[in-house]
Amino acid sequence: MPSQKVLEQKQQLVANLADRIQNSVAGVIVDYKGITVEDDTKLRKELRENGVQYTVIKNTLIKRAADKAGLSGMDEHLNGTSAIATSAEDYVAAARILQKFADTHEHFNVKTGYLDNEVISLEKIKSLAKLPSREVLLANVLGAFQAPIASFARAIQAIVDKNGEEAPAETAEA
């Protein structure tokens, strides 16, 4: 039986993780076995740079935190080694980074994930991973909005240029 102090620490850990899950828009659980310290360090750096929290944690603690956060359906995936990555703002960052890493590392696997407090399938995680980053999506939308304005501006400039060429000829004849 664990001591009262250890039990309290675990309960606090579960409460913190449950809060983190509830306050995130997306999360991914991975099996991280078989990666080197160097690869792990690079992965953690990339996740951190993209606003993703990544924690290696025991399956029982993830299960308790997920249950407390209202996520059900993860139990079957919580075996072996597990780490959880959560993002408070970006829906695709964790899935994109971890799936890319899993594609290049044989023993590293994405297990499951969630989106807006609902467990999603591995296929949906892979679909999310293929989406571009938020910045790229925003740039594409901005480009789509700017295209008609830019075309209009070019048309107006062409009219001004055309009228500018005709104006000197008209003044010379008068």
* E-state strands within 34-171: 52-56, 83-87, 109-115, 118-120
- Pair (119, 96) in one structural domain: yes
Whether the per-residue pLDDT at 59 is higher than 80: the answer is yes
How, if at all, do strands 52-56 and 109-115 pair? unpaired
CATH label of the domain that carries residue 37: 3.30.70.1730
- Pair (145, 87) in one structural domain: no
Whether the per-residue pLDDT at 55 is higher than 80: the answer is yes
- Pair (123, 144) in one structural domain: no
* Structural domain containing residue 142: 132-174
The total domain count for the chain is: 2
Q: Coil, strand or helix: which one is 47? A: helix
CA 129 centroid distance within chain: 8
- Pair (67, 111) in one structural domain: yes
- Pair (69, 145) in one structural domain: no
More confident residue, 72 or 167: 72
- Pair (106, 155) in one structural domain: no
- Pair (112, 101) in one structural domain: yes
- Pair (76, 157) in one structural domain: no
- Pair (25, 81) in one structural domain: yes
pLDDT digits (tens, 9 = 90+) for 79-122: 889 999 999 988 889 999 999 999 998 889 999 999 888 888 88
Alpha carbon distance 8, 170 (integer Å): 91
CA 161 centroid distance within chain: 47
Residue 35: name the closest of 23, 43, 24 by CA. 43
What is the model's pTM? 0.73
- Pair (118, 147) in one structural domain: no
Task: Determine the length of the chain.
Answer: 174
- Pair (174, 94) in one structural domain: no
Alpha carbon distance 24, 62 (integer Å): 15
More confident residue, 169 or 160: 160
Is residue 21 within 8 Å of 66, Cβ to Cβ? yes
pLDDT at 174: 46
- Pair (105, 37) in one structural domain: yes
Alpha carbon distance 114, 119 (integer Å): 4
CA 67 centroid distance within chain: 23
What percentage of the chain carries pLDDT values higher than 90?
Answer: 43
